Amino acid sequence: KPPVIPWLPLPKAGADDPFGDALVYPAWLAGTWRVQYKKRDIRFPQGWGVLNQKLPGVAMASVLRLPNVGAEPAAEWRFQPVVGGGGARADWAFTLPRVLRAFWDQAQVAEAPARRPEEGWAVKYAAPVAGRRQDPPQERTVTLTWLGGETWEDKVDGSVLSVEWLRQRDELLAPEGVGDYKVLTALSRDPAAGTATGLVRVAAFLQPADDAYIEAKGEAVAVYDYSVTLSRSEA
């Protein structure tokens, strides 16, 4: 049975992390990881009739966390230790461009993403345009805004579950080019092997301007599931 994933409710913002992009993960995640992605399943819980070309995951890089749905690359993630110990936070300036390039090798990221106050992380890159591959790569800026986020950790075995509410804006397509999706990440560690395995699930939602928005009732219309295997990287 397809999963039913609602958009609401959003979690309350924490005082030290109002945007959810600095969630605290277990300390064992600190460092750089090689992450092998393996497609597990792609589902459309409400059928094909509610889908459209603007849905996150349809166009290339319309989901920066999963830029090419169906591809199975190896990418790199990095987590930075929390000052004072006790956890680790995702290093988005390092991770976002590496995930993009791993899934889409034609994407050219010229500079490290920058965190814009009140907006989130801005990723500038150039890439070919569908149907116009003879033209020079087109530059664009995509902003990823964390509307909320939560983590849960098993203190016994160190396994962790996180949920992030994300809004992605493509400035080249403004005022359109807006997509909402949730990212669920579940990781379990193997201390002896120095590895971790788990799931990355992206749930995509419609926008109020979409024809089937009311019909969708605030629930995901596409769900992309990937298995991930993490091993320590030399980077």
Please compute the mean of the pLDDT values over residues 177-183 and round it to a whole number: 96
List pLDDT tens digits, range 7-58.
998 887 665 566 678 899 999 999 999 999 999 999 999 999 999 999 999 9
> With the C-alpha atoms ordered 173, 149, 226, 72, is the resulting torsion angle positive or negative?
positive
Residue 153 — pLDDT band, cuts 50, 70, 90? very high
pLDDT at 234 over 80: no
Please compute the mean of the pLDDT values over residues 195-213 and round it to a whole number: 97
pLDDT at 150 over 70: yes
Residue 225 — pLDDT band, cuts 50, 70, 90? very high
**Predicted pLDDT at 15:** 54
When mean pLDDT is compared across 90-94, 153-157, 228-232, the lowest value belongs to 153-157
Please compute the mean of the pLDDT values over residues 140-164 and round it to a whole number: 93
pLDDT at 2 over 90: no
Backbone angles phi, psi at 234, to 5 degrees: -80, -15
Cβ neighbour number for residue 50 with a 10 Å cutoff = 19
**Predicted pLDDT at 17:** 63
Of the candidates 49, 54, 42, 72, the residue with the CA atom closest to the CA atom of residue 203: 42
Q: For residues 17 and 146, which has the higher predicted lDDT (pLDDT)?
A: 146
Of the candidates 61, 27, 36, 30, the residue with the CA atom closest to the CA atom of residue 143: 61
Distance in angstroms (rounded) separating the CA atoms of residues 179 and 206: 8
**Predicted pLDDT at 11:** 85
**Predicted pLDDT at 19:** 67
> Do strands 138-153 and 160-170 pair parallel, antiparallel, or not at all (unpaired)?
antiparallel
